[in-house]
């Protein structure tokens, strides 16, 4: 199908959702070990040869762009620990049809790369930050230092990058931090988003906090959250304003109010597995196709078929499969 106005191809699934967003994990390695993302015993990283090379990723992204993807979010593991990530972003931006390239990062290495990232025309950065307390941060990330993440946020704003903060509320851990994290949007033009904990992998035995409670905690401190229009933002989050705030508040209600009706995305792991949904075992092996010299048309057909098979909604059903889902490999 083509867009009547632009003539560009449109990728849709069998429920009529437009699929225009790719989450691209470029590494499964990370410089932190968040309790809800990595298991305590650590993980076996996949071998160098199993990871898609940058030229393979670029080739795939050209195919994705040809069939209707116009936004790519670079994620990981921690994307900034892969050497060459910044140059890769510049090349991604140059692909015909890719309008927006964004990144999700834990922020640890962000400060030192921001100027170069801005020159590479990165459009936006999401920074994960679950607490502003140094000791809790170190505990949650198993040894991380909060360090200069806040100064990286301010530098990103100075460089005119769009900034979002992602915070995962965790029962018994950061309830008290929620208003404080929300307040980062008071004097800064940023969006602070609260993401309900998805009971996957390392998080399957942990407890998150439902959106209603997050709402209450914020409203108690800052007054009424006024909803922004339904179509504000491109993905599954709902956005709100608060009186006197320069920035916005977002809620990604992954569990208590399934966000799937607005889902517009596919996910590619660093080893080339393309998934139509965070949960569920369906995937396509794009690395195998690439390395067996499949034609671009053949790869495009596989992507279209996978998009068509996207389920109506996720199924975080606390079963054995959910426990095996590894967020640091899928990219969140």
Question: What's the CA gap between 27 and 46, in Å, rounded?
Answer: 9
By CB under 6 A, residue 38 contacts ligand SF4: yes
Query: Whose CB is nearest to ligand SAM?
Result: 332
Per-residue tokens: 331: 């990219």
What residues numbered 3-32 form the site for ligand SAM, per CB under 6 A? 30
By CB under 6 A, residue 34 contacts ligand SF4: yes
Site string for ligand SF4, 65-104 (x = CB under 6 A): -----------xxx--------------------------
Strands (E), the chain: 21-25, 71-75, 100-105, 124-128, 162-167, 191-195, 226-227, 238-241, 248-252, 265-268, 273-275, 284-285
Question: What's the CA gap between 104 and 178, in Å, rounded?
Answer: 20
Half-sphere exposure of 212 (CA within 13 A, CB side): 3
Pick left, alpha or beta for residue 147 (phi over 0 → left; psi -120 to 50 → alpha; otherwise beta): left
Minimum separation from the CB atom of position 184 to ligand SAM (A): 15
Angle at 90 between CA 84 and CA 91, to 5 degrees: 90
33 touches which of ligand SAM, ligand SF4, none (CB within 5 to 8 A by kind)? ligand SF4
How many residues are listed for the chain in this entry?
A: 332
Pick left, alpha or beta for residue 65 (phi over 0 → left; psi -120 to 50 → alpha; otherwise beta): alpha
Q: Which is nearer to ligand SAM, 168 or 290 (CB)?
A: 168
Question: What's the CA gap between 296 and 87, in Å, rounded?
Answer: 24
Q: Which stretch binds ligand SF4 (CB under 6 A): 32-40, 46-54, 145-153, 261-269?
A: 32-40
- Are 78 and 30 contacting, i.e. CB atoms less than 8 angstroms apart? yes
What residues numbered 187-206 form the site for ligand SAM, per CB under 6 A? 195, 197-198, 200, 203
Q: Which is nearer to ligand SF4, 68 or 76 (CB)?
A: 76
Residue choice 168, 170, 182, 260 for contact with ligand SAM (CB under 6 A): 168
247 touches which of ligand SAM, ligand SF4, none (CB within 5 to 8 A by kind)? none
Minimum separation from the CB atom of position 56 to ligand SF4 (A): 22
Q: Which is nearer to ligand SF4, 127 or 303 (CB)?
A: 127
Q: By CB under 6 A, name the binding residues for ligand SAM.
A: 30, 36-37, 75-76, 78, 104-106, 128, 166, 168, 195, 197-198, 200, 203, 327-328, 331-332
Q: By CB under 6 A, name the binding residues for ligand SF4.
A: 30, 32-34, 37-38, 76-78, 106, 128, 327-328
């Amino acid at each position: 199908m083509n867009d009547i106005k632009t003539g560009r191809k449109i990728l849709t699934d069998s429920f009529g959702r437009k699929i225009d967003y790719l989450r691209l994990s470029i590494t499964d390695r990370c410089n932190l070990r968040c309790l809800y993302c990595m298991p305590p015993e650590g993980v076996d990283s996949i071998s160098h040869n199993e990871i898609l090379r940058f030229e393979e990723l670029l080739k795939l992204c050209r195919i994705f762009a040809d069939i209707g993807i116009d936004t790519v979010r670079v994620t990981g593991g921690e994307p900034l620990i892969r050497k060459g990530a910044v140059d890769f972003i510049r090349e991604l931006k140059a692909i015909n049809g890719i309008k927006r390239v964004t990144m999700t990062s834990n922020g640890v290495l962000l400060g030192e790369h921001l100027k170069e990232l801005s020159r590479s025309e990165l459009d936006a950065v999401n920074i994960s930050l679950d607490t502003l307390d140094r000791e809790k941060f170190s505990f949650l990330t198993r040894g991380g230092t909060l360090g200069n993440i806040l100064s990286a946020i301010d530098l990103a704003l100075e460089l005119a990058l769009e900034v979002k903060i992602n915070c995962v509320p965790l029962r018994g851990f950061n309830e008290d931090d929620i208003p404080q994290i929300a307040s980062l949007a008071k004097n800064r033009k940023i969006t602070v988003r609260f993401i309900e904990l998805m009971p996957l992998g390392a998080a399957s035995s942990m407890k998150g906090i439902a959106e209603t409670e997050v709402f209450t905690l914020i409203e108690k401190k800052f007054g009424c959250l006024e909803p922004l229009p339904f179509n504000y933002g491109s993905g599954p989050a709902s956005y709100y304003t608060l009186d006197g705030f320069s920035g916005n508040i977002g809620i990604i209600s992954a569990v208590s109010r399934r966000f799937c009706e607005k889902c517009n995305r596919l996910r590619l792991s660093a080893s080339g597995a393309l998934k139509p949904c965070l949960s569920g075992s369906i995937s396509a092996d794009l690395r195998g196709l690439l390395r067996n010299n499949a034609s671009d048309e053949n790869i495009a057909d596989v992507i279209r078929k996978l998009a068509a098979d996207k389920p109506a909604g996720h199924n975080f059903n606390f079963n054995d499969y959910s426990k095996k889902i590894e967020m640091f490999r899928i990219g969140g």
